[in-house]
Structure 1
């Protein structure tokens, strides 16, 4: 009772500015709470089905490679040796000059289910990954297409078994998950934590019936869906977006499913340079500008609320009258979110980051602000 009276007296003593700031802070807290408890928590409680024991339809795996001989030598075998009765691996050699072509030719003689498509230098086509992906899809023999990158390694030999066409034939898009390998650096922790939140967001929203993106390191869709919608025709001029823009344009509540079984994860090599990572994120930000308006609104709201929550929180902590209220609300936010995200971190193969969640959340916020600021000035992006 005394605590309630003290709280009431504190509110009464605040001026208009302090009350406005506190109100905005509480609003941001509640919106943040909605995304955590009613969107992301849905992924935490999602029942993961066992991988099917029987393959139903053949699969074409599409891999685009530009000067990727080292990664192909390291990871392509794990794709070629998948435990699946009928599949092919289509590798598109996109204008490489590092020996990728010779390596693939030698490997194709050893593996009959490896198909090599070569894109040569020239002026008669639009250079870029979307053109390479299109060539790979055209060369694919089967209807169900599974996509990954040259620097990726499936978590198990059952990856394709889990990423095959779901039993529901209405499903045309299957969104997988692709974590990054662990390295000993703060940058690596940031990359993995940012990737984690991106994955939680697009997978959770897909479960809620609003799929808005996928990652080309681990996703699948029907070949007929690609050609029915004229491929990447509407955004061929954008350097990035062969994965997320395609999903954003054609995925909906009734044709999209997710697959997050641990044996279907696809591990990927992370950037080791901060500036390389910034360039990568710049490509992603550039593609995001072309999302559907409702998706842009929701994603912008998430970022804006996170930004305002921290900025207003800092201001409240600097004002003596709101110091303890600010600390209380901020602590409550951390406590509530700590019941959701550490569980998701473990589910998505980043369990060791659970203990660092509050600190990484703050570092990620600073990085996203920096990335948004730099994206205003860095205009040109390219693939490889």
Structure 2
């Protein structure tokens, strides 16, 4: 029995190494991106629901972008606080701000995709750049950096949405490492010619891409997924690229408690159930092999079965994955989280199991 477990463990280590070397290595060892400004017109789309404090702080940062041809489309999704009032003041203050007021619709009540659709239709520029109301760009060249990746063929650009660093918070490192690992995955698969998701905190595409797939209509019944489900449907190897120049990053405030973060992750995992079959399989294989990599050697080492060989395999896997994650983290300016990689990985894997089990018995809370 132990010999079978050992052979299976060897197989799992091989699967993990193949993922990291053959897929994730495509991003880890990619050359640094040089920004070459493009003369394209851009509509920055921001949808907000009860985000008065955030929009007060962050919309002026969008208005101060150093870009010659852009507008800001502010979408108020039936807010009950002062968000709409603040947006109306911004519309008066900035000549390139366009305001879209969304009223509750019985058929689409509380559906962010409905609000975004109205905003996209109201936009006047050829290219759309999305961020969330609680996000802000890390540079005045954010629009320049993201739009620089557009070409005649590449009409979808996947960006990176960072979370703010909180000093002396190990939980913050867990949140940022999970975000880093997710970015490594969707950047790498995009470079491998199989893009499967993007994040609404930092995402751009040509407006025609939205209408080519009839917007969000194929998944309008799913409250979440205006970013990843859209990309899962619209993105192809020929029309999708990535942007990882530091000027192209956005920042947002992370969850500060495990409960809040767990609820957020539940929504993300539930949305992934609607991905294409191949994408669900590759994600499932990756996370299941992660789990087995942590569990199987415990059994073998408890019985001291081939323990030197087992420890050697563990060391080999961690050496390769640490290198790949380290190079990727350097690109995305997240190097400090890599030092705690083994501990954080263990935490994340068992959090995934908890999320999966919890989602079976109850539905996660969506956009309201």
TM-score interval w.r.t. the shorter chain?
over 0.9
2:97 is aligned to 114
Alignment of 1:172-251 (within 5 A): 172-183=155-166, 184-251=168-235
Select the structure of larger CA radius of gyration: 1
2:74 is aligned to 91
Q: CA deviation at 1:260?
A: 0.3
2:54 is aligned to 71
2:14 is aligned to 30
Alignment of 1:1-384 (within 5 A): 17-52=1-36, 54-123=37-106, 125-164=108-147, 166=149, 168-183=151-166, 184-384=168-368
Q: Would the aligned equivalents of 2:164 and 2:252 in 1 still touch at CA under 8 Å?
A: yes
Moved over 4 A (4+): none
Q: In 2, Cα distance between the equivalents of 1:205 and 1:324?
A: 34
Measured on the aligned residues, the alpha-carbon RMSD in Å equals 1.4
Tell me the TM-score normalized by structure 2. 0.96
Cα 1:312–1:124, aligned 2, differ >3 Å: closer, same or farther? closer
Q: In 2, Cα distance between the equivalents of 1:365 and 1:279?
A: 16
Q: In 2, Cα distance between the equivalents of 1:40 and 1:356?
A: 19
Alignment: residue pair count? 367
Q: CA-to-partner distance for each residue in 1:14-54, whole Å, 9 max, x for gaps?
A: xxx111000010000001001111111111111122112x4
Task: Describe the SS at the equivalent of 2:161.
Answer: coil
Q: In 2, Cα distance between the equivalents of 1:121 and 1:358?
A: 46
Q: In 2, Cα distance between the equivalents of 1:232 and 1:256?
A: 18
* Larger RCO (alpha carbons 8 Å, 6+ apart): 2
Larger mean CA deviation between 65-74 and 358-367 belongs to: 358-367
1:13 is aligned to none
Q: In 1, Cα distance between the equivalents of 2:247 and 2:150?
A: 19
Q: Which residues of structure 1 form unaligned runs of 5+?
A: 1-16
Q: In 2, Cα distance between the equivalents of 1:328 and 1:56?
A: 53
Task: Describe the SS at the equivalent of 1:320.
Answer: coil
Cα 1:291–1:122, aligned 2, differ >3 Å: closer, same or farther? closer
1:3 is aligned to none
Cα 1:124–1:288, aligned 2, differ >3 Å: closer, same or farther? closer
Cα 1:380–1:352, aligned 2, differ >3 Å: closer, same or farther? closer
Q: Would the aligned equivalents of 2:270 and 2:364 in 1 still touch at CA under 8 Å?
A: no
Q: Which residues of structure 2 form unaligned runs of 5+?
A: none
Q: CA deviation at 1:322?
A: 3.2
Task: Describe the SS at the equivalent of 1:117.
Answer: strand
Q: In 1, Cα distance between the equivalents of 2:149 and 2:347?
A: 38
Task: Describe the SS at the equivalent of 1:205.
Answer: helix
